[in-house]
Amino acid sequence: MTLDFGVHASASGGVDKALQRAIDVTATSCQIFSKNERQWLAKPLDPGVVENFHRERERTGIKQMVIHDSYLINLASPKEDLLEKSMAAFTDELERGELLNIQNLVTHPGAHTGSGADAGIRTFAESLNRIFDALPDNHVITCLETTAGQGTTLGRSFEEIAAIIDLVEDKSRVGVCFDTCHTFAAGYDLRSEESTVAVFDEFDRVIGLDKLRVLHLNDSKQPFGSNKDRHDHIGQGEIGPAAFTAIVNDARLSGLPGIIETEAGEKNAFDLVNLATLRGYVR
């Protein structure tokens, strides 16, 4: 057993189109945007598209799905107007996930924009508590993504993510997305198999591997500890092959969706190469 390898697939023309695009590059799991990631508002999902999405899911056999939320959302914002817009947009993301029966919704833990990390963590957790209270029957798991630590972003350390989870009242509704590029850029050493195993040991100690729901598999164009989020192709960046070899062979991670977010290339040629590279590391 190894990871359930997947891609971030384009939902251009409708979310139902993404599934075929995923299997075209040999993916067996899939991440999508359920709406335009650069806009606050979106039209409701068309019922016909939703129906076809479920048919396509059955036809393609893709069971594990992930939504990545809008880049505009900041549930840690100290600005009331931005926070309210973010909460409304995130609520919509969760409702779309429920409609599509998608298990996981990945979100960045926001940025405190000057209020301080402790205040940002409290605001983020309080935002989730309010949203979850308003959606008691929603089954989508909110996955907090590890971040590269740029600017005032939260989630640069396992401790910050653990602090958010600690303040969430219904902990069954939160999980974690581990992004290799972000975690490396934030100062976690993934340059050897041994150090990579040690990083996941630390994750288990601080957060708990039972909270890990999704992996984003990206190499890094920027060096260790750079705090810069720049994805590179698998095994070709500053992280290199050793970390990915350790990850795909770590029995503790077996079966989790491992999503590549690297440049797809013309006719998705890079996606095919990156997935083949990952599978080639499996012992």
Q: Which of 38-52, 131-145, 166-180, 232-246 has the lowest mean pLDDT?
A: 38-52
Beta-carbon contacts of 17 under 8 Å, excluding residues fewer than 6 positions away, are: 10, 11
pLDDT reported for residue 134: 98
Distance of CA 36 to the CA centre of its chain: 16
Which of 8, 21, 216, 233 is flagged as catalytic? Answer: 216
pLDDT reported for residue 244: 98
Whether residue 145 lies in the annotated active site = yes
Structural domain of residue 259, as residue ranges?
Answer: 4-280
Whether residue 133 lies in the annotated active site = no
Which of 231, 232, 233, 271 is flagged as catalytic? Answer: 231
pLDDT tens profile 94-139 = 999 999 999 999 999 999 999 999 999 999 999 999 999 999 999 9
| Bridge partners, residue 7, by sequence | 30, 260
Beta-carbon contacts of 282 under 8 Å, excluding residues fewer than 6 positions away, are: 2, 248, 249
pLDDT reported for residue 41: 82
pLDDT reported for residue 238: 98
Tokens of 241: 């092959």
CATH number of the structural domain spanning residue 111:
3.20.20.150
Please tell me the total count of domains within the chain: 1
Count of other CB atoms within 10 angstroms of residue 124: 29
Tokens of 131: 């949203």
Angle between helices 80-100 and 117-134 (to 10 degrees): 50
pLDDT tens profile 148-204 = 999 999 999 999 999 999 999 999 999 999 999 999 999 999 999 999 999 999 999
pLDDT reported for residue 218: 98
Whether residue 201 lies in the annotated active site = no
Q: What percent of the chain has pLDDT over 70?
A: 100
Whether residue 179 lies in the annotated active site = yes
The arithmetic mean of pLDDT across residues 224-230, rounded, is 98
pLDDT reported for residue 123: 98
Instruction: Find tokens 């996955």 and name the residue.
Output: 143
Which of 108, 112, 156, 213 is flagged as catalytic? Answer: 108
Whether residue 118 lies in the annotated active site = no
Whether residue 68 lies in the annotated active site = yes
pLDDT reported for residue 255: 98
Which of 46, 51, 54, 71 is flagged as catalytic? Answer: 71
pLDDT reported for residue 39: 86
Angle between helices 117-134 and 158-167 (to 10 degrees): 40
Q: How far is CA 132 from CA 3, 214, 276, in A?
A: 29, 20, 39
Which of 4, 179, 238, 271 is flagged as catalytic? Answer: 179
Whether residue 266 lies in the annotated active site = no
Whether residue 216 lies in the annotated active site = yes
**Sign of the dihedral through C-alpha 43, 48, 54, 59:** negative
The arithmetic mean of pLDDT across residues 38-53, rounded, is 93
Whether residue 108 lies in the annotated active site = yes
Q: Does residue 176 sit in helix, strand or coil?
A: strand
pLDDT reported for residue 45: 96
pLDDT reported for residue 60: 98
